[in-house]
Amino acid sequence: MSQNLFEGTAEQMSELLKCIEAHRDEAGALMPVLHEAQHIYGYLPAEVQTIIAEELGVPLAEVYGVATFYSQFSLSPKGKHRISVCLGTACYVKGSDKILEAIEKELRISCGECTPDKKFSIDSCRCVGACGLAPVMIVDGEVYGKLSAKDVAGILDGYIKD
Amino acid sequence: MTCEELKKIAGEKADLINVRRIVREQAEKLAANTGYRKQVLVCGGTGCTSSHSLQVIEQLEKSFKELGIDDVLIVKTGCFGLCALGPIMIVYPEGAFYSQMTPEHARTVAEKHLVKGGELVKELLYAETVHKDGSVIPFSEIPFYKHQMRIALRNCGVIAAESIEEAIAAGDYQALAKVLTSMTPDEVIAEIKASGLRGRGGAGFPTGLKWQFTKEAKGDIKYVCCNADEGDPGAFMDRSVLEGDPHTVLEAMTIAGYTVGAQEGYIYVRAEYPIAVERLNIAIEQSRKLGLLGKNILGSGFDFDIHVRLGAGAFVCGEETALMASIEGKRGEPRPRPPFSAQCGVFKKPTVLNNVETWANIGPILLNGSAWFSSIGTEKSKGTKVFAVGGKINNVGLVEVPMGTTLRTIVYDIGGGIPDGKAFKAAQTGGPSGGCIPAKYLDIGMDFDNLVAIGSMMGSGGLIVMDEDTCMVDIAKFYLEFTADESCGKCAPCRIGTKRLLELLTKITDGNGEPEDLDKIKELARHMKASSLCALGQSAPNPILSAMEHFGAEYEAHIYDKKCPAGVCKSLLNYYIEPDKCRGCTLCKRNCPVSAISGEVKSAHVIDTKTCIKCGQCIAHCKFGAIVKK
């Protein structure tokens, strides 16, 4: 599982336990709990999965199985600024692979990785539904559309200076 | 709430909605009854909010305060469909269609048009709505809207997306009232069957039959589910319905609950659609508050409630058994059928599952009757279909047309043709499970059976247009990368098959293809189709097979001549500078990361193809279009 040192706060822990409590008697509670846990911690460290398993009375293997099955659940921490490039068909046909390449080059990391200073992480996603703006990239929820590879450096600059 | 109270709400806001629906002259008279001189509708769907439509609304509110405008209503709606021109803003009763709005534009429109006695700001109107002589035509008459027929999207872009009162005034929940007060479950099933409605999620299974099987299944607990896990990348019609008219889905699911004998429903929606999820949650809360969900709905004694479950990014969860496993909180892996979900679905109980667009058709069918619905469309595909048109096309957006409308009408009349005067090459329907339609079938009527007959499928309605610059081998590889990535791994034919197919395609695009590879692909595809557990694996080879059938010469060029005719596959291309176009500006030379370009200032440069790594930097920087890939 995760090799990263886990640092959770007491507030995060109480929030997690509260969310587990709210879903405890619900059929199929594991998915909603994992969603909220990831929202609290930013990712799903092994320690958090263990707590969820114990509290819900589900084998840890099952929690791990679900957490690794879905691409939105992450077992490693993400950067302060999360970049996501849409590789859905509409964006791909309009050259989103070249946008991704440009970002990887600019930040010197590959898709799925996080910069050593933990400032940026890059992921790809399949369609955010903003096909009218293809190709698009998303930084911290902000959508940048109708891009060309040349626009990338300028957009990232704004976040590097931040 | 009683049926009378429902009618009262509908009546209170009826004129407000009618101003947006009827012809201009009447709308102007009607506007006087509403208390609002004008109404400004701004799209609050994902496409337009991504291009900052919410800032447009903020600016309008600010400007109204400054200018003392207090009799113009601002309405945040769902999608208008013409996403390429977002953010879109429509002013009623004129029906003025402003496109590509910015906060500055909004201020201008407020100052010049929305103030008392104001005039249209013609230079900000969508150009197609302004005649050469300066007269303005209603947007419903421009080609993009003229050829459309909106049933599933009837309220999208018409009503305030977060107002249940407007939804009711626009007709939502009237079918539910009719069903609960005057129809038996068997009558509902008979009506849906007679309408000829087929599932809009991809497979096209008759909806009435599905409901009948679930009703007939034994069990005291049953479920109604909505598939909103719109996984086909490039398809966004379900998202738009949920964002623009969520109540139509809640209403239809409640009707199905009454019909099959279920008291609970689940909507399984992609977590990638935050706005849709938010609007669904708002809609469910509103509906519960008014008693349109919960106990004793409309005094009928019937109880029904709906829960929202989020997906987490797994394409396979669009398959019904995988979706249901995911709702149960498990890995979203499909299981063999039978038993079918009508007998053994969510939590092993009889379950009826329909797609969002299918649900959106239920209300109109029950209100207007099956004869009306079945008069639209073709012999075996009734009603309309929503297509998410994207890729190399001018009017990227959402269109709803009667079944049987030709691809040519969609691409050229509604879609406005291909940008930059390029030629149409193919359109992909059905996403990673479908196939491509080449130019020779532009006049084919788009319905379930015609598309299957030419080796593609309807799918959920994603329609990606490709031009002469798209390589059909590369695009097949793109889809295979997708399915190989999304294969859940439970069954070997899909897990290993997608991987091997992808390897074969990569071999071809890398320039190492051999003639026998084509036969290997066909053989492997045959086995995958026959033995994969679910539709993901069974249909994964479709994009390659259809591309090989329609664009066989392109595959052969890659294998025999080691050429990529569309100029896409990097390994098969070399970069050249055309001497007559090169001005010797040295920009390419300075930007080449491997110093492969030589030449003096103001004389033609040359690329050393042996050193060149084909990164494309030179093309991106050349201002004279002097660099070509051959």
Helix (H, G, I), strand (E, B) or coil at B386: strand
Any idea of the CA torsion for B52, A134, B249, B460, to the nearest 10 degrees? 170
Rounded Cα gap, residues A114 and A120, in angstroms: 6
The two tokens of residue B94 are: 């004129």
Q: Which residue of A has its CA nearest to B489?
A: A69
CA nearest A68 in B: which residue? B331
Quick one: pLDDT at residue B392? 95
Q: Which residues of chain B have pLDDT under 70?
A: none
Check if A114 contacts B (Cβ < 8 Å). no
Residues 6+ apart with CB under 8 A from B577: B588, B597, B604, B605, B606, B607, B618, B626, B627, B628
Chain B residue nearest residue A134, CA to CA: B391
Would you tell me which residues 67-86 of chain A have a C-beta closer than 8 angstroms to some C-beta of chain B? Answer: 69-73
Taking only the tens place, the pLDDT of each residue in A109-139 is 999 889 999 899 999 988 887 888 899 999 9
In the predicted structure, residue A3 carries a pLDDT above the cut 70: no
Q: Is the pLDDT of residue A7 over 90?
A: no
Question: A1: pLDDT confidence band, cut at 50, 70 and 90?
Answer: very low
Question: Which of A71, A91, A130 is the closest to B47 by Cβ?
Answer: A130
Q: Which residues of A touch B84 (CB under 8 A)?
A: 132
Under an 8 A CB cutoff, do B428 and A89 touch?
yes
d(CA B582, CA B604): 5
Given this model, what pLDDT does residue B270 score? 93
Q: How far is A2 from chain B (nearest CA, A)?
A: 20
Query: For B122-148, what is each residue's pLDDT tens digit?
Result: 999 999 999 888 888 889 899 999 999
Contact B83 A136 (CB under 8 A): no
pLDDT beyond 50 at A2: no
Interchain contact A65–B (C-beta under 8 A): yes
Contact by Cβ (8 Å): B438, B423: no
Q: Between chains, do B50 and A98 touch, taking CB under 8 Å as contact? A: no
pLDDT value, residue B338 = 94
> Which chain B residue's Cα is nearest to A148?
B620
> What is the per-residue pLDDT for B262?
98
Bridge-based pairing of strands B351-355 and B223-228 is parallel
Is B84 within 8 Å of A126 when comparing Cβ atoms?
A: no
With CA atoms as reference, report the closest residue to B349 among B335, B334, B339, B337: B339
Q: Cα angle at B333 between B264 and B263, to 5 degrees?
A: 5
Q: pTM surpassing 0.90? A: yes
- Give the pLDDT confidence score for residue B480 in this predicted structure: 96
Q: Residue B523, Cβ neighbours under 10 Å: how many?
A: 10
Structure tokens at B569: 């596959």
> Taking CA B411 as the corner, what is the angle to CA B228 and CA B402, rounded to the nearest 5 degrees?
60
Contact between B197 and B361 under an 8 Å Cβ cutoff? The reply is yes
Beta carbons of A72 and B233 less than 8 Å apart: no
Q: DSSP secondary structure string, B434-461?
A: SEEEEGGGTTSB-SHHHHHHTT---TTS
